[in-house]
Amino acid sequence: MGTEPHRDEPREARPRKVIASAAIGNFVEWYDFAIYGVAASILAKQFFPAGDPAAALISAYLLFGITYVSRPAGGLLAGWLGDTLGRRRALSFTILLMCAGTVLIGFIPSYSTIGVAAPIMLAVCRLIQGLGTGGEYSSAIAFVYEHSDPSVRPARISYLVTMTFLGITTSVLAASLCTAIVGESAFEAWGWRILFLLSAPLGIIGVYLRKRVAETPEFAKANAAPAAEKTKTTPIRTAFRTQARTMVLFFCVVSAYALITPVLSSYFITFMQNSGGISHGQSYWISVVANLVMIAATLIAGRLMANHGLQRTFVIGGVFIAVVSVPAFAVSTHGVVGALVGGSLLSIGKGIVAVAGAMAMSYMFPAHVRVTAGAFAYNVCTITFGAAGPAIGLWLNDTTGTSTAFSVYLAVVGALSVVAAIIGRKRLSQPVTSIPATPNLRSGELQH
């Protein structure tokens, strides 16, 4: 018993190393995620027939969404690794898969060279990316969450989320610099490949950092507990048996975040170019500014959550998205200034719900199934609301004849997340500390 304080010491030991090792993967994940959106209009020309530009763009966005198909499988696989063999092994696995899928895209020949094989190969690479990203976010969040004392968890989770936005910002900056250096015509012809190839050194750095950090004390305790003998090899079955209701609640409260994520990282750039008449270069720099606003909102949201709790943060973020979505898209059709204002408003909303969603991924689930349950619920939510987000946006605008129809859909989903947070307020007001792993335990019977 006297060894317990010593076992807990790593929680506060070298927190920067813990955060850095987890954050590098989040950075890479969202860099990989965003460069596809940044280059979507170019990929449409490179990998699809040239006869119908609109159909090619929609096809490119459908392949943007195909990565979500393999995310649940990746989440379950990484969850099994994380909940049985340790968080560190899961983190190394996810970053290797993510970077492999991204780098391979940079080598795919164009449609004019190999025909229909080009989009097929692109789809395969996106599926590989999905396997990696499916477990990355939940594993990294659990890693930081379990290495941190409750009093500092909101702040540290906000730092982790900030790194995801830095990954998005870096992708846009990289695209802007490549465009400026080689010119727009060369960038569209071959320069875009550089963005994907840059994922290779990032992945190597990530694996190196993650192999040099200790396993979390909370995982060690959960794995050593007597109950773990019954459940440690079946975290998937245990998660579905004991956490089904909690996963449904998580799905609903995180819906606004799942939808607004591809909106800002992908759809909004195309929206500015098509509806606002803004050039590629201008849209990239506007996106950079919006991401800087998002980072500031994320850091503030961490303090907000520390003072007001997870449930209230979800409500505040959802209400904000529901209220500003329509006016933000409307003003974004009015040139550079309008796009800056609209993008900044959407970024504030995303920053708030991003921190709440990340915290909930570990806060709502017990340690021995934390990665599995969190990853699966998160990935199902992102499939439902995020996978087809850009394609739905283009379809709604085309069908209704207005450039802001999609914003109504975003506002409705924001309101849905608010209703879910209010209904589940009791569950969102207290974290799970333990849960009995008995076979007859019914879903939702949580022990605090």
Residue the block writes with tokens 């204002």:
341
Residues 76-84 have a mean pLDDT of 78
- pLDDT for residue 9: 39
**What does the DSSP 8-state code read for residue 188?**
I
Q: How many residues does the chain have?
A: 448
The 10s digit of each residue's pLDDT in 22-36 is: 888 778 877 887 788
Q: What 3-state class would DSSP assign to 3?
A: coil
Q: Is the predicted pLDDT of residue 437 greater than 60, yes or no?
A: no
Q: What is the pLDDT of residue 13?
A: 47
Please indicate, yes or no, if residue 444 is contained in any of the structural domains: no
CA atoms within 13 A on the CB side of 62: 11
CB neighbour class for 6 (10 Å; exposed up to 12, middle 13-18, buried from 19): exposed
Query: Contact, 67 vs 133, CB < 8 A?
Result: yes
For residue 193, is it within any domain? Answer: yes
pLDDT digits (tens, 9 = 90+) for 292-304: 899 999 999 998 8
What average pLDDT score do residues 52-71 get?
73
Secondary structure tally for the chain: helices H, strands E: 22, 0
Taking a C-beta distance cutoff of 8 angstroms, is the pair 226, 368 a contact? no
Separation of alpha carbons 304 and 296, rounded Å: 12
Please report whether residue 87 resides in a domain: yes
Residue 437 within any structural domain of the chain: no
Tell me the pLDDT band of 144, cut-offs 50, 70 and 90.
confident
CB atoms within 10 A of CB 190: 12
Percent of the chain with pLDDT over 90: 19
> Helix 310-331 crosses helix 280-308 at what angle (to 10 degrees)?
160
User: Highest-confidence range of 2-16, 116-130, 134-148, by mean pLDDT?
Assistant: 116-130
Q: Would residue 92 count as lying in a domain?
A: yes
3-state secondary structure 383-426: HHHHHCHHHHHHHHHHHHCCCCHHHHHHHHHHHHHHHHHHHCCC
At 66, the pLDDT band (50, 70, 90 cuts) reads: confident
Q: Which residue has the tokens 């340690």?
A: 367
CA dist list (Å): 44 to 36, 41, 59: 11, 5, 7
Burial of 406 (0-12, 13-18, 19+ CB in 10 A): buried
User: Where does the pLDDT of residue 344 fall: very low under 50, low under 70, confident under 90, or very high at 90 and above?
Assistant: very high
Q: Is the alpha carbon torsion for 28, 32, 37, 41 positive or negative?
A: positive
From CA 42, how far away is CA 105, in angstroms rounded?
13
Residue 312 belongs to a domain: yes
Greatest alpha-carbon pair distance for the chain in Å reads 73
Amino acid at 370: R
Contacts of residue 320, Cβ cutoff 8 Å, sequence gap at least 6: 348, 349, 352, 414
pLDDT of residue 432: 60
- Whether the pLDDT of residue 346 is over 60: the answer is yes
Q: What local confidence, expressed as pLDDT, does residue 225 receive?
A: 56
Residue 288 lies in a domain: yes
Give yes or no for residue 226 having a pLDDT over 70.
no
Structure tokens at 55: 């159909």
Report the DSSP beta bridge partners of residue 434.
Answer: 447
Kindly state the DSSP code that residue 434 receives in the 8-state scheme: B
Is pLDDT of 222 > 70? Answer: no
198 pLDDT exceeds 60?
yes
364 has pLDDT over 70: yes
Provide the residue range defining the domain that includes 270.
Answer: 4-429
Q: How far apart are CA 190 and CA 89, in angstroms?
A: 36
∠ at Cα 415 (409, 419), nearest 5°?
A: 145
Q: Is 156 helix (H, G, I), strand (E, B) or coil?
A: helix
Examine residue 210 and state whether it is found in any structural domain, yes or no: yes
Burial classification of residue 265, based on how many CB atoms lie within 10 Å of its CB (0-12 exposed, 13-18 middle, 19 or more buried): buried
Q: At 173, list the tokens.
A: 């900056």
CATH code assigned at 13: 1.20.1250.20
- Where helices occur in 183-216 by DSSP H, the ranges are 184-186, 192-197, 199-210
Number of domains the chain contains:
1
Model confidence at 94: pLDDT above 60 = yes
* pTM of the predicted model as reported, rounded to 2 decimal places: 0.74
Identify the pLDDT of residue 444.
36
Q: Encoding tokens for residue 405?
A: 């129809």
User: Token pair for residue 82?
Assistant: 């994380």
Cβ(250)–Cβ(376) below 8 Å: no
At 223 the pLDDT is: 65
> In angstroms, what is the C-alpha Rg of the chain?
21
